[in-house]
Structure 1
């Protein structure tokens, strides 16, 4: 099995970023636990730098095309952030995100195409862009935890 090339990762994350660019800014939220919503926990956020652009997909067919939930929120003051994914009702979901530290609306990369801004995906880590199979996780009441790269 061949390992995907890094430019494919950039394309995947850029596609997600493009979809996320259409997302409305998040409003103040009630604690997700009180709303009985799946909880997303992000670790390794650069506190106070730019915005988080998050997309959640509910099926292989919609992955990186049409999220069931997307949001752009200001980076929190802490390195950990929790968000309720209210409206995500599929039995499995895949989350992709990046921290747009300079708020230019896209994921920046270095000269060879490696992301230079923090990014992450749910599921198991892979070299290159995440696929549905690698990123899908059960939506079963347990938090979906992602450590940004």
Structure 2
């Protein structure tokens, strides 16, 4: 066999499995309806910011949220945010921007001075909560996540 034939045979045997293997369709991300209900808002006018996380390692890291939603209460002490989320584990952190400066204001120790809350109504004492404390599962059935801003 010539060197050219061996080279072609070698390339062909490498490509053959790729050409004959079934090609799977791209995975579709299933979503489910989720209604986030926020109660006991301190202000009926200040914007509520909802930070959604679905990566444990990114939880509460600046700019690392998966989804951010702004909701104006429109004079109400409660808001409801309907959305579709991909299946998996999620956690929500939220703040209410009382002075409308588009920041989460904090004191010299880094503790928020504006109202905040977390999914599962976790109330941190000395440190920010962990993702596992705040997580909920989106898995096909419609879900209601109720969060109280009451301190």
| Same fold flag (TM > 0.5) | yes
2:105·2:113 contact (CA, 8 Å) conserved in 1? Answer: yes
2:66 counterpart (65, 68, 93): 68
Separation of aligned partners in 1, 2:92 and 2:75: 22
Task: Give a deviation string over 1:11-36, Cα, whole Å, max 9, x none.
Answer: xxxxxxxxxxxxxxxxxxxxxxxxx6
Q: Give the structure with the higher percent strand.
A: 2
Residue in structure 1 matched with residue 104 of structure 2 by the alignment: 107
Q: Higher mean Cα deviation, 38-47 or 138-147?
A: 138-147
List structure 1 runs of 4+ shifted beyond 6 angstroms. none
SS in 2 for 1:85: strand
1:80 counterpart (78, 81, 91): 78
1:49·1:102 contact (CA, 8 Å) conserved in 2? Answer: no
Q: Scaled by the length of structure 1, what TM-score is found?
A: 0.65
Separation of aligned partners in 1, 2:143 and 2:44: 27
Separation of aligned partners in 2, 1:85 and 1:131: 24
1:120 is aligned to 2:121? no
Residue in structure 2 matched with residue 16 of structure 1 by the alignment: none
Q: Scaled by the length of structure 2, what TM-score is found?
A: 0.64
Extract unaligned runs of 5+ from structure 2. 1-31
How far the C-alpha of 1:56 sits from its partner, in A, is: 0.6
Separation of aligned partners in 1, 2:107 and 2:68: 26
Q: Higher mean Cα deviation, 76-85 or 56-65?
A: 56-65
1:144 is aligned to 2:145? yes
Q: CA 1:113–1:57 in structure 2 vs 1: closer, same or farther (change >3 Å)?
A: closer
How far the C-alpha of 1:74 sits from its partner, in A, is: 2.1
1:109·1:115 contact (CA, 8 Å) conserved in 2? Answer: yes
SS in 2 for 1:61: helix
Separation of aligned partners in 1, 2:109 and 2:73: 27
